[in-house]
Amino acid sequence: MQPKSRGRVAVITLFATAISLAMGPSVARAAGVDGTPDADFATAVSPSFNGEVNTVAVQPDGSIVVGGDFSNTVARFSAAGVPDSSFNALAGGVTGGARVTSLSVGPSGEIVAAGWFTGLYRFSSAGAPDPAFAAASISALGGETGAVVVQPDGQILVVGSFAGILARLNPDGTADAAFNANVASTLDARAYSVALQPDGKILVAGEFTGHLKRFLASGAPDTTFNNNVGDAGGTVSIVRVATDGSVVIVGEFGDRLARYHSDGTADTAFNAHVHAVGIEEVGMYALAIQRDGKVVIGGDTTTHLARFNADGTADTAFNSTVGSYFDNRVWAITVDASDNLLVGGNFTSRVARLSSSYAPASYAPGLPATGASTDGLVWIALVMLAAGAVLVTAQRRTHRVR
């Protein structure tokens, strides 16, 4: 979950790429990590819901699970986009109409949902709700959740606006008391993003003091990293970890994009190049790091999507190629196993893919076409399919404004 846009638009030559998602999702794919759009993908997929889709996750068998504020709030489709009527009959409506904003698939294919409700919901790989888990998580958290990550060992990391802001639950939904005690009182305001490093360390971003913190696998604050970071300078919307261990963030702070070394010290060379490009008047809400170290960002700009080289300079070739393809805000970007860029937002086609293979492809989910929501902002969460395809989800706001 991320903060809402400040509504400012900056005209920046760098942003010659754009993607947007109008309410009620449909899907488009574009070919070419160089920025060449794939029109076949864009025209192949145009599903809609009777509400917003806020999150998408993929199970090990390639099945696609979506969450949002549409009628069922949780639904599943085959990898070909065919509704899974059996799953949907079991899972549909379990949240009582409360919006689902985050889904994470566990090691056995189980699905954990966070959102505008107290605690978490969990479903079996077949869609059966787990009321005992839900009750345990409600007791453990006692407040609204926003983002969830299931660890490889089945334990569950969750952030939100509940008392501890960051918590870990055991696989049965009960509190990991030792972890949570170590976290206690470290964070003093809502968190929007959580990332799990390969070494088990946990990065959290949000509105709290300092805006970016790291915790050890035990839940104890990583004081060396946190002291080196100091204060990120403003709300951090998203945190990502690069393959070299560096930490990249976007948000409503000075230059909107920054990189830190793995010890939390600022990458001054990268940041100086970003500053020279000049995106400080732009709201940034999407971030992905390619395997080659290039950084792709999206947000509330006239062109909405841009790429930076690994040294922080603008990737002008990429940006000019994408051009004016996108006509509105970008809310999410991810990179698949083939280094394709998958983008979601408030643009016309809602989802686009920039493929390195240039191979046209299409994905047309058979989602219920019962009308599209037209009000509010959208938040996109992307999860790639096992075969490299992708779905995107939309949410009216990235968090509630209280």
Q: Judge if pTM exceeds 0.85.
A: no
Q: What is the reported pLDDT for 60?
A: 74
Q: What is the reported pLDDT for 342?
A: 61
Of all residues in the chain, what percent carry a pLDDT higher than 70? Answer: 65
Q: What is the reported pLDDT for 355?
A: 60
The position carrying tokens 């003093």 is 188
Q: How far apart are CA 376 and CA 174, in angstroms?
A: 35
Binned at pLDDT 50, 70 and 90, residue 52 comes out as low
* Phi and psi, residue 180, nearest 5°: -65, -35
User: For all residues of the chain together, what is the average pLDDT?
Assistant: 74
Given a contact cutoff of 8 angstroms between Cβ atoms, the answer to whether 380 and 58 are in contact is: no
Give residue 375's Cα distance to chain centre: 21
Q: What is the reported pLDDT for 100?
A: 82
Look at residue 17 and tell me whether its pLDDT is greater than 50.
no
| Listed range (93-102, 134-143, 308-317) with the worst mean pLDDT | 93-102
Q: What is the reported pLDDT for 283?
A: 75
Given a contact cutoff of 8 angstroms between Cβ atoms, the answer to whether 156 and 120 are in contact is: yes
Of all residues in the chain, what percent carry a pLDDT higher than 90? Answer: 38
Residue 74, helix vs strand vs coil: strand
Domains contained in the chain, CATH given: 39-393 (2.130.10.10)
What value, to the nearest 5°, has the Cα angle with vertex 100 and ends 193 and 80? Answer: 100
| Listed range (33-42, 294-303, 384-393) with the worst mean pLDDT | 384-393
Look at residue 25 and tell me whether its pLDDT is greater than 80.
no
**pLDDT digits 0-9 by tens, 297-308:** 887 766 688 889
Q: Which is higher by pLDDT, 28 or 298?
A: 298
| Listed range (188-192, 201-205, 341-345, 371-375) with the worst mean pLDDT | 371-375
Binned at pLDDT 50, 70 and 90, residue 332 comes out as low
Look at residue 388 and tell me whether its pLDDT is greater than 50.
no
Look at residue 96 and tell me whether its pLDDT is greater than 50.
yes
Q: How far apart are CA 280 and CA 20, in angstroms?
A: 20
Binned at pLDDT 50, 70 and 90, residue 79 comes out as low
Q: How far apart are CA 118 and CA 47, in angstroms?
A: 30
| Listed range (73-87, 112-126, 169-183, 187-201) with the worst mean pLDDT | 73-87
3-state helix/strand/coil string of 269-293:
HHHHHHHHHCCCCCEEEEEEECCCC
Binned at pLDDT 50, 70 and 90, residue 62 comes out as low
| Listed range (88-97, 264-273, 353-362) with the worst mean pLDDT | 353-362
Q: What is the reported pLDDT for 171?
A: 97
| Listed range (23-27, 85-89, 113-117, 323-327) with the worst mean pLDDT | 23-27
Q: What is the reported pLDDT for 192?
A: 87
Q: What is the reported pLDDT for 216?
A: 97
Q: What is the reported pLDDT for 281?
A: 66
Look at residue 370 and tell me whether its pLDDT is greater than 80.
no
**pLDDT digits 0-9 by tens, 252-271:** 998 999 999 999 999 999 99
Look at residue 228 and tell me whether its pLDDT is greater than 60.
yes
